[in-house]
Amino acid sequence: MLVQEQFAISGIPMQYAQPGKTTASPRPVSAPLQERLSMIHKFAFRRLTSRGIVSRAAMALALAGGALVATSAQAQDYSRGFRSAYAPVAEMTSGETPDWAGARDKFDSVLAAISNDDDRNAAGNLALMIGNNLNDPAWQRRGLELMLQSGKVEPERIGQFQFFVGNLAYNAKDFAAARTALTAALAAGYTENDPQGLIIETYLQEDDVAGAVAYIEQLQPEFAAAGRTIPVTWIERTLGAAYSNDMYDESIALSKALVQADPSSGGWLKSLQVVGAIRQLDPQVELDLLRLMRETKALSNRAEYVRYIEALDPRIMSNEVLPVLNEAAAAGLIDTGDNYYVEVKSIADSRASSDRSNPDATFSEGQSGDALDAMGSANVLWSIGDFARAETLYQAAADKGGDVNEAMTRKGMAQVKQGKYAEAIETLGQVTGPRKPVAEMWALYAQQQAG
C-alpha cells in the first residue's frame, strides 16, 4: 500500500528585519510568507518490506507549490546498503504514531550508508522531516544542507534553500556559515527578504565592522544598477557600530552612503553630525561643515548655531552672521532677548553695511594683495553672496601660496552656490588632509543638486 505523508517547514526561515524596523536581529517571517512556505516540502515513500524499498517506490523531494511530486524508481539510483539502512528508520516515521525521536536517534545509520547523491538527497529529506516534526532547527539545517550537497535540488529552489540555511545558521550564531549560505542564495538569484541585510548583520555580530562597511560599499553599485538605494536601516546600524568603535574612515564612508540613501535633511543631519563628531575639527573646517548643514537644512540645535557664528566672527563675516543669527532666533534656538543675541547682532549690524558698500574695492584688494589678502577678501565676498568673484579670489589665494585645501574647498563651495556643479565636484576632488571629508560631503551635495 502506498503511503504518502506531507510535512511543512514550520520552524524556518527567520528573516532579517525589513527597512524601517529598528531591530537589528532576525524576526519571524510574516504570516503570508509562512503560509507560502508551509507546503514547500512533501515526501512520499512506500511501506518497506524485508527486501528493502520496493523497486518502484516513490521517494522524492517535492518543491512545487504544494503539489506532491512522485518520482519513479527509474529516475533514482539508491544504493543497496542505503536501502537497507533507510527502510527501518523510514518505517518509524509512518503510521498514526510516528516515532520521530526514534528516527532521529537511528539516523546515523542512514547517514553512514550514503553512497551516492540520490542517497544523500533522501537522507537530507528524512533529516529535514525529523527537524520539522521535532521543531529542531539544527536538524532542519542538517537536512537542507544534505539536500543541497546532493545536487538534486531543482535549480529554481536552490536560492530559497540556501536562504533558509543562512537563517538557521544565523540563529545558531554560526555567522560565517550563515554568510556563506546567504551569499550562495543571492548567487542563485534569490532576492526575497533582502538577504544582504542579514549578511551585513553577520559581520556586525562578529565585530567585523570593516567587513560590513566593505560589503555595503560593494552593494552600492549593484543597488544603483537595479534602481534601488541601500535601506537606511542597514547603513545606520553599521554606522553606529563604526562610530562607537572610533573607526574614522569607516564612519566617513558610511556617512556618505547614508546621504546617498537618504538625501533628506534628516539624512544630512545624521551624516554631517558624524563627520563633525568623529574627530575634532579645526573651527574653520567645521565652519564649512556647518555651512553645508545650513544648506541642507540640517542645523538642529543652539550649539551648532553658536559655533557657526563664532567661526564666522561677526566683525569679519557680518553679512553671513546676521541671517544665521536670525534663522536661529526664528527656530527658537536663540532668544532675541538674551545677551548673546543682542551682542552679536550689535557687532554684525555695525559692520554689515560697510562690507556691502564697496565690493569692487574688496575684490581689487584681494587681487592685488598676497594670499592672506585674497582669502580674506574672498570670505567677505562670500558673506555678501558674491560667489563668482569669491571663486576667483579663492583660486588666487591658492596660486599665491595660501592653504590650497582651504582655498579649493571654498572655491568648490562657491561653485556649488552658483550652480556650477560639475566644476565644483572637480574642484572639491582636489582637497586632501583634514578637510577632505567635508569637501567630499559638499561634492555629494553637488551631485544631488545636479540630479
> What secondary structure does DSSP assign to 403-441, as a single string?
-HHHHHHHHHHHHHHTT-HHHHHHHHTT--GGGHHHHHH
Q: In the predicted model, what is the mean pLDDT of residues 105-125?
A: 96
Amino acid in the structure at residue 33: L
Per-residue pLDDT band at 68 (split at 50, 70, 90): very low
Which pLDDT value is given to residue 103?
A: 96
Amino acid in the structure at residue 15: Q
Domain ranges in the chain? 2-163
Contact 180, 145 (CB under 8 A): no
Planar angle of CA 375, 381, 385, nearest 5 degrees:
140
Alpha helices per DSSP H over 279-370:
283-295, 302-312, 318-330, 339-357, 359-368
pLDDT tops 60 at residue 167: yes
pLDDT tops 60 at residue 50: no
Per-residue pLDDT band at 22 (split at 50, 70, 90): very low
Cα torsion 118, 120, 122, 124: sign = negative
Q: Which residues contact 155 (CB under 8 A, 6 or more apart)?
A: 188
Whole-number average pLDDT of the chain: 84
pLDDT (tens digit per residue) in 350-398: 999 998 999 999 999 999 999 999 999 999 999 999 999 999 999 999 9
pLDDT tops 60 at residue 52: no
Which pLDDT value is given to residue 378?
A: 97
Planar angle of CA 231, 232, 236, nearest 5 degrees:
130
Amino acid in the structure at residue 61: L
Query: What is the share, in percent, of the chain residues with pLDDT greater than 70?
Result: 83
Q: Hey, what's the cell of 72? A: 519513479
How many residues does this entry show for the chain?
451
Which pLDDT value is given to residue 273?
A: 94
Question: Rounded to an integer, what distance in angstroms lies between the CA atom of residue 236 and that of residue 273?
Answer: 13
Which pLDDT value is given to residue 217?
A: 94
DSSP H or E stretch at residue 125: helix 117-133
Q: What does the DSSP assignment read for 23-43?
A: --S-EEPPHHHHHHHTTS-EE
Amino acid in the structure at residue 330: A
pLDDT tops 50 at residue 280: yes
Contact 355, 322 (CB under 8 A): no
Q: Hey, what's the cell of 4? A: 504518502
Q: Hey, what's the cell of 342? A: 543682542
DSSP H or E stretch at residue 14: strand 14-15
pTM: 0.77
- Residue 441 burial (C-beta neighbours within 10 Å; 0-12, 13-18, 19+): buried
Question: Rounded to an integer, what distance in angstroms lies between the CA atom of residue 102 and that of residue 17?
Answer: 36
Per-residue pLDDT band at 312 (split at 50, 70, 90): very high
- Residue 301 burial (C-beta neighbours within 10 Å; 0-12, 13-18, 19+): exposed
**Helices 232-244 and 209-225 meet at what angle, rounded to 10?**
160
Which pLDDT value is given to residue 76?
A: 72
pLDDT tops 50 at residue 28: no
Which pLDDT value is given to residue 55?
A: 24
Question: Taking the C-alpha atoms of 290, 295, 301 and 302 in order, what is their torsion angle to the nearest 10 degrees?
Answer: 70
pLDDT (tens digit per residue) in 97-110: 999 999 999 999 99
Question: Rounded to an integer, what distance in angstroms lies between the CA atom of residue 357 and that of residue 284?
Answer: 26
Contact 314, 351 (CB under 8 A): yes
Between 92-101, 176-185, 402-411, the lowest mean confidence (pLDDT) is in 92-101
Q: In the predicted model, what is the mean pLDDT of residues 286-310?
A: 96
Which pLDDT value is given to residue 155?
A: 94
Amino acid in the structure at residue 22: T
Please tell me the chain's helix, strand, coil percentages from 3-state DSSP, rounded to the nearest 5.
65, 5, 30
Q: What does the DSSP assignment read for 245-289?
A: TT-HHHHHHHHHHHHHH--SHHHHHHHHHHHHHHSPPPHHHHHHH
Q: What are phi and psi of 129, to 5 degrees?
A: -65, -40
Look-up of cell digits 554631517? 272
Q: In the predicted model, what is the mean pLDDT of residues 240-260?
A: 95
Question: Rounded to an integer, what distance in angstroms lies between the CA atom of residue 188 and that of residue 165?
Answer: 14
Per-residue pLDDT band at 46 (split at 50, 70, 90): very low
Question: Rounded to an integer, what distance in angstroms lies between the CA atom of residue 28 and that of residue 136?
Answer: 15
**Helices 318-330 and 302-312 meet at what angle, rounded to 10?**
170
Which pLDDT value is given to residue 451?
A: 86
DSSP-assigned beta bridge partners for residue 64: 67
Question: Rounded to an integer, what distance in angstroms lies between the CA atom of residue 365 and that of residue 56?
Answer: 99
Closest CA to 358 of 336, 384, 339: 384
